[in-house]
Chains A and B, each alone.
Chain A
Amino acid sequence: MSGNSIPQPVASGLALAAASQFAKRVSGAALGEASAGDALAGALHVVDIVAHVADQALAWDTVAEPFGTVLVATVREGLPQGPRS
């Protein structure tokens, strides 16, 4: 899931250019160079952490579950005689 075959400096440059264009298109004004860089750096940092956790914890067939259902299920799972899902 993680990692790519594009050299990192090139990827960062491409990503920065894409982010600036994308932000300009969406917000109607270009992000300043410094802001775009900061925004991208911040987003990449978060994405890297999520990618790391996902690599470790997700199986190929793990699917997203309705979270309200999950919360209720854990209550049943916590009961001494309750069924385990």
Chain B
Amino acid sequence: MTQHSTPAISASLTATAEALREGAMTARVLTDRCLDSAERGDQTGFVRLRAAQARDSADACDAAAADGRPGGSLHGIPIAHKDMFHRAGELSECGSRILHGFTPKATATVLTRLDQAGAIDLGALHMAEFALSPTGFNAHLGHGRNPWSGEHVTGGSSSGSGVVISARQVCAALGSDTGGSVRIPAAACGVTGLKPTQHLVSVHGVMPLAPSLDCVGFLAQTAQDCARLLSAVSGPDVRDPSCIATAAQDYESGIELPLGADDCIAVPDFPPDAPLSEELRAMLDKAVQVLRLAGVSVRRVTMPQMGELAALSSLVLGAEAGSMHWPWLHGRADEYGTQVRRRLERGLLYPATRYVDALRLRPILLRRFLNECLPGAQALLLPVLPYAVPRIEETISGNDAEIEAKFGGLSYWTRGINYLGLPALALPAGFTANGLPNGFQLVGRPLSEAALLRIGHQYQRCTDWHRRIPLA
């Protein structure tokens, strides 16, 4: 195991918030501890710290508390953001050379709302270049290195987000999920990750990759933490016309309700040739047993056509990302990392007619999936990764086609869910033989985040995988 500096964070976000509220510690002390940990840390988590701003915010929180002014739901809580969430006047480089030095003029809505809730943003996190890798690889910044083993990938593209939660350097990390980029690093780093329903959370001020698929998400220690974070950022946003939220919502109330006869999860019958290792099949079986013991009933369903959904997702992503990057591909192509450039160039080859087909198919396939895979169930249990977290070396060896096939394999179980626009909660569920964590995801019906978070919370009351930390 990798040697680590002493974790700055020992408790979950919600427990830490309670400790701050009760005066057990000050926001400034906690912020200093987190900044010290980040500065001494040997993992690829932060790319930039905003230490002075964070300390000022922490001091303001403490002053408000001393004056008896009520704090927000995230009062004094240290967080960090994937380096694609814009802050006016501060760098936002998206893991790239092309946006090196880019300073946006506007702040992302989600960052503004987290600020308003009292969160302390410590800085920007490592990510795959332009959010285009499920391994966490970045040709310019270097590989994301898993806190559980420096030789293994973090998962991506929200690589730094997975690292800083796993290493307990902050309480929460913002990520984005276009094809699995919150859930994959959550599973690979042994933390909890939430991808909300498509268009639920404002994407204003967030780097677009494929706007039909892009989702703001969170990584944190627990489902309850994710519930509090989602509550803090929820609500309509006039600056994001695609946002379907009609009102802010409290996703944490009701989370403690025990599971009972009305609660049901669907579990697919995974055929022998499904891309799923024996280790992970066993892990999923154990997770189902725990959920049964927690009170949920289980319904077996046929496996969804994940291969087809993955292809549809790839086409939409390729076409839209190709369009977004067209100006840079024409003239600045050499400033991309080779893998990212290849993925973008492939998107340029997709016919427009097939892209329109993919959009026309979306409502049909969504309704089919809900009818076949979620009949009378609140959630469908699926893997996140098809196998144990790979070594970095394994993900970069082979020719281009072999590497691309590995990328496709890593996001096989996740990117189809983006195509369907469904919410998904990734939960840690154990360790594979190589000593790395892994987990599963609960996929819900549209706008069913509260149900997913409640099931996830009750699962975590029966397990302790989410409490494990990579100590030496």
A interface residues, Cβ below 8 angstroms from B = 19, 22-23, 26-29, 31, 34-35, 38-43, 45-47, 49-54, 57-58, 62-65, 67-72, 74-75, 77-78
Contacts and interface: CB of A to CB of B under 8 A. Distances in A.
A38 to B, nearest CB: 5
Contacts of A26: 326, 329-330, 345, 348
Contacts of A65: 362-363
A53 B312 contact: yes
A74 B445 contact: yes
A26 B370 CA distance: 40
A50 B349 contact: no
Interface of B: 197-199, 212, 242-244, 307-308, 311-312, 314-315, 318, 326, 329-331, 333-334, 341-342, 345-346, 348-351, 354, 356-367, 370, 399-401, 404, 421, 445-447
12 contacts: A26-B329, A39-B349, A41-B401, A42-B401, A42-B404, A46-B318, A50-B311, A51-B354, A54-B357, A62-B360, A67-B198, A72-B446
Contact of B350 (A35, A46, A57, A78): A46
Given A64-B360, A71-B447, A49 B308 contact: yes
Given A23-B348, A71-B447, A47 B361 contact: no
A71 B421 contact: yes
A59 B242 CA distance: 27
Secondary structure class of chain B's binding surface, majority of residues: helix
Contacts of A45: 311
Contacts of B315: 46-47, 50
Contacts of B367: 74, 77
Contact of B314 (A19, A23, A35, A46): A46
A55 B122 CA distance: 50
A64 B359 contact: yes
B351 A47 contact: yes
Contacts of A47: 315, 350-351, 354
A77 B363 CA distance: 13
Query: Which of B365, B366, B399 has most A Cβ within 10 Å?
Result: B366
A27 B421 CA distance: 32
Given A49-B307, A75-B445, A43 B350 contact: yes
Given A26-B330, A38-B404, A68-B198, A75 B359 contact: no
A28 B333 CA distance: 7
Contacts of B307: 49
A12 to B, nearest CB: 13
B357 A50 contact: yes
A37 to B, nearest CB: 9
A69 B197 CA distance: 12
A67 to B, nearest CB: 6
